[in-house]
Structure 1
Amino acid sequence: MIKQIASVKYLNFWIVFHILLGVATTVTPWALIGWYYLVFVFSIPLLLNKSKYNGSVSYLLVYLVSFEVFSRMVKATPFISYEQSKYMTFFLTSFGLLHGANRMGKEGLLMVVLLFPALFYDFSGMVSVPYIIFDVLGPINLGLCIWFFSNQRFTPSGFLALIRLMVFPIISALFFTFIKTPDFDSIEFDLGANFETTGGFGSNQVSVLFGLGIFLMFIFIIFKWRFSGNFWIDSFFLLGFAFQGLLSFSRGGVIGGAIGILGLLFVLKRNSGKIKDLANIPKVGRYLVPAILILMVTFVVVNNITGGLLMLRYSGETAGTMAGAKERSLDTFTSYRAGIALEDLEIFMENPILGTGAASSRYLREEHFGTAPHIELSRLFAEHGMFGIAYFVVVAMVFFGLFRKKANIKVKSVLLAFAMVAVYTTFHAATRTYITPLLFGLAMITVTTPRRRKLADSSDGPIKTLPTKK
């Protein structure tokens, strides 16, 4: 079934289907629950395939974990676990590694190993297993995804199928919020996160989802790769993601989408004109200026709807600073993430070798006691000590190694932008969503572009699974 969903042959049908799925879930979460398990059950034959590697498992992974935030929005728990993407990522990557005899990406294995020591001690004496899963399974999955995807080779059609599979669930979430959002006149906007415009769920995670949607749709538009096959429909989706993302009043995800776009354009811009001509690369300025103008107009429209509060929100104002009770600072601008990070670093300085143990830092802070970590880097330092520093060094080595990767420049720009968004997301949402493990993992793949064939048109061909490169 997953190949049917990924196939360009039925593309318009699946776009409409996911729109209707989003609409149906406004009535009952069972629409999503039933669909989720239907896809998984009918894809079980892929997991029972005795071949050493079947790339369809990667399509299944990308598609199912992309429903993570949407399933939380429609309140599908416990039928779809709140942490389903973490469990599914762990299960499918582990399965793929066991059956794929992966000989590459061992940096990911090292990352997983570095996280294990902190699982066996707790300096706070208050940690429970659910919090360990919540905090540690994300970075474990990051290592597994780097290890799992490093050995995979996709045709251009398969590469574009992976991106589409990420977009489909975001479209469902978009139409869910379209319907769930009340009349703007009835919404009391303030300088905090807005749950009324995100279907009643956490605006930070919904913003991350829509920010990713902005970035992914921009990819299809700038390279003229086929999504719906219609420029105006694709543009509608992009504007819809931007509009609802801004209405969430959560800045991190929208900024993440902008970072993805700027990162992609940066990689394209830094290549010589000769390489650009050979790769049929569009002129960056031709797309950057209109993109900025469109996003600015969208921002102005949403700002007017909110009575000017959106501009104040993005400038770092809060209810406290506006009332004069607090001064605007880096801590208030980052919604107190900076303060949490500083306290994490203080905890690290007190326990620099081993750290304090997995998931324990929240109970050792004074000012932000009990608050879940929002910055993965500071959490790694506080809870894992020198092992956390080593983990970060490995991630940095893998990230900068991507700049030396040989690939079609279009593909390389997308893969590097994936990694940039993945890393950025850890600085405002830690690894509590699927975004970081999945995008960083996908940044490791190899896309084999046939000679004399344009990547922009290759999405019309069949999806092929390439053998593992030994």
Structure 2
Amino acid sequence: MTNTEITLLIIHIVIGFFATFSTFSKLYNIVIVAAGFFILLRTKNRNEEAFMLASYLVGAEVFLRMTGGSVVYEIGKYGVALFLILGMFFGNEKKTAPVSYIFYVMLLFLGIILTEVPFGESIRKAIVFNLSGPILLGICSVYFYHKKIAISTLLNALKYMTLPIISMVSFMYLRTPDLSELVFGTDANFYTSGGFGPNQVATILGLGIFIITVFLFLKAKLTGYLYLDAIILIYFTYRGLLTFSRGGILTGIIAIMLFLGFMFLYNNFTRKAVLKYSGLIFLFTVGIWIYTSGITGGMINNRYLGKNAIGGQKDITSGRGKILSLQLQNFYDSPIFGIGVGNGKYSREALDIKIALASHNEISRLLEEHGLIGVIILIILFTPPLFHIRKSSNFQRAFLTSFLLFWFLTISHSAMRVAFPSFIYALSLIVITDDE
């Protein structure tokens, strides 16, 4: 087993190298989707192959975008939807689709009625950009709703999710200029993020940091060796800090704290483990932070404190607070049906304000563009997982609450740009069982 895990690790490090050639990355994308399709045709999803394949693609999506490998920009969302729909179609487990999530998807489409875009803009693109993530959430939720998943199966899925993140970090290492030649400021850094959006990169790295920490705590051995897992965790954290994008890294840290909190409550054995690991995590975090601070000339300190390069205070939300206030104003002006899917960006464009126009907060977008229907959608989204978590054990809650928190915090700073928040939300609905 250890040889297999090391082999997979080496393969994915090498994939990161070959991804420097865009033709390889596109081929890699095609192989993931095509191979996944034929695997599901052959296995009929007997051993949760759909779960494994979807997990892998969730971890690979940002890497594919970063390397120009996405055959279609939203291929991550489309591929995950394809795998899970085929899994439901082929699977032996027959269950009734949860009415709440079917109703949720229907409500999303009502917002399309009011969609208007300026001349020359594409209505289709506006709708797809804003609704592909929420619709995928509905598909994922139907698949995972109260689905019994053995803990070993869950950990396997998380492992597959991490492998392409290793490829992404390998690629970032190769594409990052000599750090001594970079002049660090306090803005998100594209040079240290593989030339791609630091927000999305940090989001996925935060996920990787969480997963490896969970593996270390449970002694599940991602690579087969605990020390090697620890080295990968340290490097993930370092690379995450270098993106200078705070949301994804802070989300991963908060999720770890929540996970360890419920493990502390679980039993005496996990309580002792939490106390031991918390101390080690704190020491390693301080060490990584001091090293990164030295590399960046102290700019990482200013970034997380919301200061500019000379130490003056600036807008800690990077313009997101202004967007939020404008979205709430649009909600107050059109509280029943909202202003229509995709119209939020154009309403801010008309004001000629110098901030990012697309929403980074899915909750405020729902209120702005869907109105009262958006409120109903939010109630539907929060109610099932919270009731499910309330009935679970502390061991189960450690995972389920972390998944739900990941979804909530990610859509609060990065909306639903990638498949990850839709997928991780649905995992908060599963029933985690013992391997027996």
| TM over 0.5, shorter chain | yes
Question: In the alignment, residue 438 of structure 1 is paired with which amino acid?
Answer: F
Q: Bigger shift: 230-239 or 37-46?
A: 37-46
Q: Which residue of 2 aligns with 1:226?
A: 221
1:303-314 equivalent positions in 2, closer than 5 A: 303-314=293-304
Match of 2:238 among 231, 240, 243: 243
Q: Which residue of 2 aligns with 1:62?
A: 55
1:69-108 equivalent positions in 2, closer than 5 A: 69-77=62-70, 80-99=71-90, 101-103=94-96, 105-108=98-101
Alpha-carbon distance in 2 for matches of 1:52, 1:151: 17
- Listed one character per residue, the Cα deviations across residues 28-84 of structure 1 (whole Å, up to 9, x for unaligned) are 13333323322432333344369597621221111123211001111224xx22211
Q: Is 1:355 matched with 2:333?
A: no
The SS at the match of 1:43 is: helix
Match of 1:440 among 399, 403, 425: 425
Question: In the alignment, residue 349 of structure 1 is paired with which amino acid?
Answer: Y
Q: Bigger shift: 123-132 or 371-380?
A: 123-132
- Listed one character per residue, the Cα deviations across residues 103-140 of structure 1 (whole Å, up to 9, x for unaligned) are 25443222212201011222555662112111111111
1:37-52 equivalent positions in 2, closer than 5 A: 37-48=30-41
- Listed one character per residue, the Cα deviations across residues 208-241 of structure 1 (whole Å, up to 9, x for unaligned) are 1111111110000111112112121101111111
Q: Which residue of 1 aligns with 2:358?
A: 372
Q: Is 1:297 matched with 2:292?
A: no
Alpha-carbon distance in 1 for matches of 2:86, 2:346: 35
Give the superposition deviation at 1:412. Answer: 3.3
Q: Is 1:284 matched with 2:274?
A: yes
- Listed one character per residue, the Cα deviations across residues 355-385 of structure 1 (whole Å, up to 9, x for unaligned) are 1111110111233677111000100000001
Give the superposition deviation at 1:99. Answer: 4.8
Alpha-carbon distance in 2 for matches of 1:295, 1:280: 21
Question: In the alignment, residue 108 of structure 1 is paired with which amino acid?
Answer: Y
Give the superposition deviation at 1:193. Answer: 1.0
Alpha-carbon distance in 1 for matches of 2:81, 2:37: 16
- Listed one character per residue, the Cα deviations across residues 246-268 of structure 1 (whole Å, up to 9, x for unaligned) are 00111111101101101101222
Match of 1:207 among 174, 180, 202: 202
Alpha-carbon distance in 2 for matches of 1:323, 1:253: 23
Q: Which residue of 1 aligns with 2:103?
A: 110
Alpha-carbon distance in 2 for matches of 1:300, 1:50: 49
Which runs of no fewer than 5 residues in structure 2 stay unpaired? none
Match of 1:263 among 258, 265, 281: 258
Going from structure 1 to structure 2, the CA distance change for 1:51 and 1:192 (only over 3 Å counts) comes to closer
Match of 1:387 among 373, 386, 390: 373
**By percentage of residues, which structure has more helix?**
2
Question: In the alignment, residue 262 of structure 1 is paired with which amino acid?
Answer: M
Equivalent residues of 2:149, 2:433 under 8 A apart:
yes
Q: Which residue of 2 aligns with 1:19?
A: 13
- Listed one character per residue, the Cα deviations across residues 322-362 of structure 1 (whole Å, up to 9, x for unaligned) are 597xx63xxx1011111111100100111000011111101
Equivalent residues of 2:25, 2:68 under 8 A apart:
no
What is the TM-score normalised by the length of structure 2? 0.92
The SS at the match of 1:194 is: coil
How many residues are treated as equivalent by the alignment? Answer: 429
Alpha-carbon distance in 2 for matches of 1:386, 1:154: 35
Question: In the alignment, residue 324 of structure 2 is paired with which amino acid?
Answer: A
Q: Which residue of 2 aligns with 1:145?
A: 140
Alpha-carbon distance in 1 for matches of 2:23, 2:135: 30
Alpha-carbon distance in 2 for matches of 1:8, 1:94: 32
Going from structure 1 to structure 2, the CA distance change for 1:105 and 1:12 (only over 3 Å counts) comes to farther
Equivalent residues of 2:114, 2:340 under 8 A apart:
yes
Q: Which residue of 2 aligns with 1:399?
A: 385
Going from structure 1 to structure 2, the CA distance change for 1:447 and 1:249 (only over 3 Å counts) comes to same
Going from structure 1 to structure 2, the CA distance change for 1:155 and 1:20 (only over 3 Å counts) comes to same
Match of 1:414 among 369, 394, 399: 399
Going from structure 1 to structure 2, the CA distance change for 1:120 and 1:165 (only over 3 Å counts) comes to same
- Listed one character per residue, the Cα deviations across residues 263-303 of structure 1 (whole Å, up to 9, x for unaligned) are 1012223x2xxx514x7565322111221221121111111
Q: Aligned-pair RMSD on alpha carbons? A: 2.3
What is the TM-score normalised by the length of structure 1? 0.85
Alpha-carbon distance in 2 for matches of 1:112, 1:235: 41
Equivalent residues of 2:2, 2:224 under 8 A apart:
no
Q: Which residue of 1 aligns with 2:305?
A: 315
Q: Is 1:339 matched with 2:329?
A: no
Equivalent residues of 2:111, 2:338 under 8 A apart:
yes
Alpha-carbon distance in 2 for matches of 1:8, 1:422: 32
Alpha-carbon distance in 2 for matches of 1:174, 1:52: 30
Alpha-carbon distance in 2 for matches of 1:232, 1:49: 37
